[in-house]
Structure 1
Amino acid sequence: MLKIDGITRRFGDVTALDGVSLEIGQGEFFALLGPSGCGKTTLLRILAGFETPDSGTVTLDGDDLLATPPNRRPISLMFQSYALFPHMTVARNVAYGLEQEKLPRQEIKQRVGEVLETVGLSALGDRKPAQLSGGQRQRVALARSIVKRPRLLLLDEPLSALDKKVRADMQLELKRLQHEVGITFVVVTHDQEEAMSLADRIAVFDTGQVRQVDEPVALYERPRTRFVADFVGANNLFEGTAGGADALLTPDFGSLPGTPLEGLEDGVKALLGVRPEKIRLGDTAASDGLDGSVLDVSFYGGVSHLSIDVPGHVKPVLVAVQGASTVQPGAQVKLQWEAGDAVILPVAQ
């Protein structure tokens, strides 16, 4: 539905977007993920019409989107700050866009009623924004965005103003709403967990470029670049050279088990990434595995995180185990994992 081709945007000497190309399908929940300053919000503003790219094209259903004025684009943008009118009721806030289109009063009333019911705010239509919680204000902003029935809804860090529990509830709510209303959602976020829980596909941005586009599970389990492996979730990274079908050869630890990305040649500099939950604590007498000593144990409810000092490795190795760990700081441990649970990728990318 939406095709972004070779979009570049510069601000003086700074290149915010460098030849970005993406394709987003009808009804897809698509996330733009990356650290602050990587260009994701600039791309969102280009789609909304608030920025003009230096080069490249954007088409919506085959039509040139860049040639269409912002107010004529079938797009809604939900701001990070929500930008609700404080002097208007919830219902008036939601109706505002329809009133500007001069739709019949009865149609406005019907559509506002339907969308308030969809977001669970039917009983709060007469309240002002100041009388609502953060989560309720977020729903009002969402209702105002979808009541105009846009082809594309852009969300800029939509949950950043909410506390952790409300944020988790609203993640589920956003996903439910997106399926219910059938609108294509494009969300900008720097929160990996948020992107992974919401999106059908994720584009990872770094310094104005797209490093990888994939479904959440594939992105997590098979990162294709060093940046993605390090940025998306916790990861333990080891450097060496690709050494055959299922190993990374390292000067300090010998052969480490892993599965290389397709096309990775033997003998090239490579990186092995293994997730904390894929590492198990084995028998210290075993011949294979890495020897280490426990630096710290942190309990997070259902999971314990162990920080392990492995001589020769720059950073402590992070291990995640289910439940409360019986291992104590200072204990000697053996770290093991299966080749299929670690990925070997080029170090140069």
Structure 2
Amino acid sequence: MLQITGVSRRFGDITALSEVSLEIRQGEFFALLGPSGCGKTTLLRILAGFEAPDEGTVTLDGEDLLRQAAHRRPVNLMFQSYALFPHMTVAKNVAYGLEREKLAGAEIRRRVGEVLEKVGLDTMAGRKPQQLSGGQRQRVALARAIVKRPRLLLLDEPLSALDKKVRAEMQLELKRLQNEVGITFVVVTHDQEEAMSLADRIAVFSEGRVQQVDAPVELYERPRTPFVAGFVGANNLFEGRACSVGLASDGLGVLPGVSTLPDGTPALLAVRPERLRLDGQGVLRGDVVDVSFYGGVSHVSVRVAGRSTPVLVATQGATQVQAGSPVALSWSAGDGVLIPQ
């Protein structure tokens, strides 16, 4: 539905976007994920019409989106701050865009009623924003964005202002609403958990470039670049050279992994903490530095000779090992992913 091809944007000496190309499908929940300053919000502003790229094209349903004025695009942007009118009721806030389009009063009331019911605020139509909780204000902003039935809804860090419990609830709510209304959602976030729980596919950005586009599970289990391996979730990264059975590492020996790289290629081996086992038949041996319990999961840091940073192991429940204990670490070859350096 949305085709972004070779989009670049510079601000003086700073390149915010560099030859970004993406395809976003009809009805998809698509996330732009990356650290602050990686270019994801600049791309969102280009789609909304608040920025123009220096190079590249953007088409929506085959039509040039960049030639349309911001207010003419079938695109709506939900701001991070929600930007609600404090002097208007919930219903008036939601109706504002429809009134600007001069729709008939009966049609406006019908559509506002429908969308408020959808977001669970039909009983609060007469309240002002200051009488609502943060989660309820977020729903009003969402209702106002979808009542105009845009082809594409852009969300800029939509849940960052909410506390952890409300954020978890709203993640489920956003996903349910997106399925129900059938609008294509593009969300910008630096929160990996948010992107992984919401999106059908994720584009990971770094320094203005797309590093990888994949479904959440594939992105987590098969990172293709060192940046993605280090940014998406916790990872243990070992340096060395690819070999037929994994990675040959100076000082650590041969570490098991699945490789499609030519032998001798400089590479990283990525092993997720939950894939590591503490057992007697170890690939590596070391001493426990620290044990932390996180309600259902224990994190064990192990210092291994020949490696500058501890290896992180995640085990289910409370663990019996203690700081100072000697341990052996092992993992299956299929759990080690080789990435070219």
Task: Please tell me the TM-score bracket, short chain as reference.
Answer: over 0.9
Q: Tell me which residue corresponds to 1:275.
A: 272
By how many angstroms is 1:55 displaced? 0.6
In structure 1, how many angstroms separate the alpha carbons of the residues matched to 2:192 and 2:79? 19
Q: Tell me which residue corresponds to 2:231.
A: 231
In structure 1, how many angstroms separate the alpha carbons of the residues matched to 2:21 and 2:185? 17
Q: CA RMSD in A?
A: 0.7
- Count the aligned residue pairs: 341
Structure 1 stretches of 5 or more lacking a match? none
Query: After the TM superposition, which residues 159-238 of structure 1 pair with which residues of structure 2 at under 5 Å, given as runs?
Result: 159-238=159-238
By how many angstroms is 1:327 displaced? 1.2
Q: Tell me which residue corresponds to 2:256.
A: 257
In structure 1, how many angstroms separate the alpha carbons of the residues matched to 2:286 and 2:185? 45
Query: After the TM superposition, which residues 1-349 of structure 1 pair with which residues of structure 2 at under 5 Å, given as runs?
Result: 1-244=1-244, 246-260=245-259, 262=260, 264-283=261-280, 286=281, 288-347=282-341
By how many angstroms is 1:138 displaced? 0.5
By how many angstroms is 1:293 displaced? 1.1
In structure 1, how many angstroms separate the alpha carbons of the residues matched to 2:339 and 2:274? 19
In structure 2, how many angstroms separate the alpha carbons of the residues matched to 1:173 and 1:57? 33
By how many angstroms is 1:24 displaced? 0.2
By how many angstroms is 1:329 displaced? 1.2
Q: Equivalent residue of 1:154, what SS?
A: strand
By how many angstroms is 1:300 displaced? 1.1
In structure 2, how many angstroms separate the alpha carbons of the residues matched to 1:312 and 1:140? 55
In structure 2, how many angstroms separate the alpha carbons of the residues matched to 1:121 and 1:70? 29
Counterpart of 2:275, as a letter, is K
By how many angstroms is 1:196 displaced? 0.5
TM-score, length-scaled by structure 1:
0.97
By how many angstroms is 1:326 displaced? 1.5
TM-score, length-scaled by structure 2:
0.99
In structure 2, how many angstroms separate the alpha carbons of the residues matched to 1:301 and 1:30? 31
Q: Equivalent residue of 2:162, what SS?
A: coil
Structure 2 stretches of 5 or more lacking a match? none
Structure 1 runs of 4+ aligned residues shifted over 4 Å read none
In structure 2, how many angstroms separate the alpha carbons of the residues matched to 1:256 and 1:248? 5
By how many angstroms is 1:146 displaced? 0.3
Q: Equivalent residue of 1:162, what SS?
A: coil
Counterpart of 2:111, as a letter, is R
Identity %: 73
